[in-house]
Structure 1
Amino acid sequence: MWIIAIVTISKHFKNYYEPTIQRHKVRVLLYPPVYSTLAWVSYLRYDYATTIMFFATLFEAFAVYNLYTCLQSYLQPFRDEYEGVKEEARPTVVPCVKVHIKSRWGMHYRTITDILVYQFPLWSIFDAFISIFAELKGHYCEGSLSFKGAYVYLTIINFIALSFIISALFTYLAVYHPEWKRIKISAHGMFWCVKGPIMINFYIGTILLDGLAYDNIIHGTDGSNSSDGLAWSTEAVKHGLEVIIDCVVMTIFMGLMTKYFGPQDSIRRANENDTQIIGEPFQKRTSSQAFLDAYVLYIPEFIRNVITCGRDSRALAKKRARMKQQKRESMELSGLTSNKF
């Protein structure tokens, strides 16, 4: 995975034509090797597994963030083109499920989607902190389905947060399907490259393995049948299986990322001088400029976008309150008018 990631990132840096898009792609490409490496280290040092997996969760959260911001960068020229246009959308998100968006270019839908997407990485980081502190206090109870420990509560909240972001992104992909088709990118392929591993690792690596451990299908050993004579607890065995699932899944999706997050689209558009994506002439950056843009400015950009999301949310709340007040005043005025007559 490290070899594939480094080769693909190097190709990006040698052909860095679209920084607003490519910066997010090269960040996502580090997600599988970094996450798998940390998972493997947590297997070797199980006594520090919760702390080590905190950093894995951190990279996972940033991968989700960069997936969304990458799609937003692709969409930005269309937002500029349709600014102020109120256009309805009634896409079919999944079979038999349709949604109605009153204005797909409006502030309301964009801000709601930002909130539903950003809640996942922010909660993931917060959850990792809680896990570390709960384990230090002896109240984490990993793998246990008992409500006496923090693990089961965090798993339930993770399930809800994951459901929110999946629903939001599925809707987002369906609403802007004509735009993805127009710029010739596979937004669904990019989505599954990032969300696929998260969903598989959570639903199989966490929920399924927890259920098998709870039914004693997965159980610990006393070391009598082991070559090294070491005893393994049920939680340690489950964690080892989870690490194997993580690494296998990440290896598969690392291969897919070379197709959906590789530099070939940017190279093609640069050769064709197709400026409709970024709206400005192509200008190739050096490898050092690409590295600075992609990785050094990473955290400041994340913080700025989260703050912007909060500012937009506050502006949206004020706008909604103002519209309700105007509607109420209009109803009162029409009531007074009818009473006069």
Structure 2
Amino acid sequence: MAPILFVVVAFPCTVGAMALAVLHIYRHLLNYTEPTYQRYIVRIIFMVPVYAMMSFLSLIRSDHSIYFNSIREIYEAWVIYNFLSLCLAWVGGPGAVVLSLSGRSLKPSWYLMTCCFPAIPLDGRFIRRCKQGGLQFVILKPLLVVITFILYAKGKYKDGNFSVDQAYLYITIIYTVSYSMALYALALFYVACKDLLRPFNPVPKFIIIKSVVFLTYWQGVLVFLAAKSRFIRNAEEAADLQNFVLCVEMLAAAVCHFYAFPYKEYAGANVGASGGLRGSLFHALKFNDFYHDTVHQFAPTYHDYVLYNNNQRE
């Protein structure tokens, strides 16, 4: 188990983060008047209890941390996909985006790392590439987890071991490339559609998603590199530090979610039909949209990208 001080501080932070997140989700489900949007919002808020619980379990059961961390990382991929889907839903779906941005393009830019490429037309192909960028991470991450478990059972994988004889180095490289592609696709979509997204106040939402997902990932990489460089005694201490910090950070994230995704925006609205608390939760947790989206985005039979609007996706 991790140092007792870490556990003592992490426990109330974990409980507080989970309580706030569950309350927030409950409020959204009670005011589930915009299912098209709130489905994704509820899934995003679930990130807090998943991260907090898995990090705390990793602290007190460090011998099984690889399993808890894997659940957390799979949900990380799920959050990126759902935030991109939420942004797309806000602007009415790919068809609405293409109609609104018809004839426009994303000019070469050094900060988007497109300065050496021609302008990118904002058409159906662009939207499809953005969705594929998010989906590939959601699909690849569980596969990497299965491979990790197999290698771990064979003694070929250990967290924080960057040796060329261990799989951690290679899994991390593959994961980083896939992860970066997903975040890059999200950034491109945001820059291209920021004028369309402005009425939905996306900046605080974008910041908190990027902070939790981006910073926690690189935070983990950095603490393991610190252990490799002997700034931290060993990989076990690095893992304990990472999990402890995540427990504390999730309490802050739970508070920030209340401001970034307020349920009051949907309270009292008459748009959409609520099927009660259970029906709302069932709708939010159904994966049918992900399945259809995956088939739609990657189907080799599509010679031309088929566009849809939100009312065609419910």
**For this structure pair, what is the TM-score category when the shorter chain's length is used for normalisation?**
0.7 to 0.9
- After superposition, the Cα gap between the structure-2 partners of 1:244 and 1:78, relative to the gap in structure 1 and judged at 3 Å, is same
Q: Please say if 1:290 is aligned against 2:280.
A: yes
* Structure 2, unaligned runs of 5 or more: 1-16, 306-314
Task: Identify which of 177, 180, 184 aligns with 2:194.
Answer: 177
Q: How much does 1:20 deviate?
A: 0.6
Counterpart residue identity of residue 259, structure 1: Y
Alpha-carbon separation, structure 1, partners of 2:238 and 2:97:
52
Contact 2:90 2:200 survives alignment (8 Å): no
Q: What residue number does 1:139 align with?
A: 156
Q: What residue number does 2:288 align with?
A: 300
Q: What residue number does 1:44 align with?
A: 60
Counterpart residue identity of residue 291, structure 2: I
Q: What residue number does 2:206 align with?
A: 191
Q: How much does 1:91 deviate?
A: 5.6
Alpha-carbon separation, structure 1, partners of 2:151 and 2:246:
24
Alpha-carbon separation, structure 2, partners of 1:45 and 1:81:
47
Alpha-carbon separation, structure 1, partners of 2:93 and 2:170:
42
Task: Identify which of 151, 168, 172 aligns with 2:185.
Answer: 168
Contact 2:160 2:224 survives alignment (8 Å): yes
Q: How much does 1:56 deviate?
A: 1.7
Q: What residue number does 1:230 align with?
A: none
Counterpart residue identity of residue 196, structure 1: S
Task: Identify which of 228, 238, 262 aligns with 1:214.
Answer: 228
Q: Deviations over 1:120-172 (max 9, x none)?
A: 22222222222211110100132122111110111112221222122211111
Task: Identify which of 104, 113, 134 aligns with 1:117.
Answer: 134
Greater relative CO, 1 or 2 (CA 8 Å, sep 6+) = 2
- Larger radius of gyration between Structure 1 and Structure 2: 1
- After superposition, the Cα gap between the structure-2 partners of 1:247 and 1:82, relative to the gap in structure 1 and judged at 3 Å, is same
Q: What residue number does 2:308 align with?
A: none
Q: How much does 1:31 deviate?
A: 0.7
Q: How much does 1:94 deviate?
A: 7.1
Alpha-carbon separation, structure 2, partners of 1:44 and 1:288:
33
Q: What residue number does 1:201 align with?
A: 216
* Structure 1, unaligned runs of 5 or more: 220-233, 274-280, 321-341
Q: What residue number does 1:239 align with?
A: 239
CA RMSD of aligned residues (A): 2.6
Identity within the alignment, %: 19
- Runs of 4+ residues deviating >6 angstroms: none
Counterpart residue identity of residue 181, structure 2: F
Q: What residue number does 1:222 align with?
A: none
Q: How much does 1:68 deviate?
A: 1.4
**3-state SS of the aligned residue for 1:76?**
coil
Counterpart residue identity of residue 231, structure 2: I
Q: How much does 1:97 deviate?
A: 5.7
Alpha-carbon separation, structure 1, partners of 2:214 and 2:255:
18
- State TM-score, norm by structure 2: 0.82
Alpha-carbon separation, structure 1, partners of 2:93 and 2:295:
22
Q: Deviations over 1:53-81 (max 9, x none)?
A: 22222222222221111112112268348
- State TM-score, norm by structure 1: 0.76
